[in-house]
Amino acid sequence: MNVKQGMALVSIALILTACVNTRSGFMEATGAKAGELPVFARPDYQIAQANFRTKLAQFRNINVMPADVANYVNCELSEPEVQALAGYTDMLAVMKPAKKKGSLAAEVAQDAGAAGSAVTSSQRYVWQGGSVLSGASQCKQLRSDHKAPGLNYLVNSQYALITEVHTSSGSVPPTTHTTKSQVYVENKAADEQVSMTISSINVAGGMFDSVAAKATLTMNHLEDPNFSYQYRKAGDQLVMTETASARGVYHTHVSLELEDGKKRMRAYAGKELIRISRSRHGKPHGLQESFKFNLPSSCYDNGEQIQSSSCERF
């Protein structure tokens, strides 16, 4: 399982929804319709879509993970082991500090600097705890091989992303995004896995401490739990998400593993294709196509953005 990728996709869905502020605004911006999912020819994807609808309905009804975990016990794994299973270790390796060239925070600072104001920013992650639960007989196996067929387990985790901004006139109060998640993993076979994620993000500090900001977050359900269902078969992956801020509108990300380390990911809102992303060996590569939100397409060569009249497609 790649918990890191699954959590990242949930965050993307939440950000896209928040960008247009309301459910109706998001539907208008994307053309998405409530209850719709993309049409796939693959039978296993069709089964996964049906399971997503079933599990989502159960979650919305009971507001807890829709899985039989009543007899699970704490496997008492070490903190590094829990962090690895939660995807936190991988995330730290990939999510470089905000001062890194090309990061969003760096771009914002650069833009502000161009306008005549010296701005620097930094980000740091803080692990706040977690646990891994499973059946008593499976905890031992979990330590030796968490990918073993037939193994099921539950990962609880919480961490914070703290962003600090410094200007020529002083520092801005830091903003803290606290992510709390619960992931249920079911290993169907050596190369087949299903997982479900319940996650929420709480925002505090800086401008988010105002009464108006808190009211906006509450009114638009931006801090309420979101539900995601992930199906993986070998290197191919299907992730479906419903955010609390746009209930009934489903986000789908489907990635296909190609030769030579290449991957192609399509992102949908409802049935509407909104983006095609391409990568090679984990880095953006080739044409990155956007179809909604008036976002431009771009071209990348092994992680570096370039200008090209014949950008690679695959």
Sign of the CA dihedral with 127 first, then 162, 4, and 57 last = positive
Strand partners, 125: 161
Tell me what pLDDT residue 117 has.
54
* Amino acid occupying residue 230: Q
Running DSSP on this structure, what letter comes out for residue 137? T
Nearest to 6 by CA among 143, 165, 175, 198: 198
Positions of E strands within 119-249: 119-134, 152-167, 170-189, 192-204, 226-233, 236-242
Q: Strand, coil or helix: what is 66?
A: coil
Q: pTM for this structure?
A: 0.81
Report the 10 Å Cβ neighbour count for 85.
Answer: 23
Mean pLDDT, 10 residues at a time, the chain of 314 residues: 49 49 76 94 98 97 95 96 94 64 44 58 94 95 92 97 87 90 96 96 85 76 90 96 92 95 96 95 94 89 92 93
b (16+ CB within 10 A) / e for 132-169: bbbbeebbebbeeebeeeebbbbbbbbbbbebbbeeee
Count of all residues that appear for the chain in the document: 314
Backbone dihedral region of 294: left (phi > 0), alpha (psi from -120 to 50 degrees) or beta? left
Tell me what pLDDT residue 77 has.
96
